[in-house]
Amino acid sequence: MVEPALIKAAQAGDREALVTLLREIENQVYRTAYYLLNNEQDALDASQDALIRIYTKIGSYEEKAQFRTWVQRIVTNICIDKFRRKKPSVSIEEHEMVFEAGNNVETEVLSAYAAEEIREAIGKLPEHHRTVVVLRYLQDFSYNEIADSLNLPLNTVKSYLFRARQQLQILLQDYQKGGVRG
Tens-of-pLDDT digits for all 182 residues of the chain?
A: 688 899 999 999 999 999 999 999 999 999 999 988 888 889 999 999 999 999 999 999 988 778 988 999 999 889 888 867 765 444 434 444 444 444 555 555 555 666 777 888 888 889 889 999 988 888 888 999 899 888 899 999 999 999 999 998 888 886 555 554 44
Q: How far is CA 17 from the centre of its chain?
A: 24
Q: How far apart are CA 13 and CA 154, in angstroms?
A: 35
CB 45 within 8 A of CB 82: yes
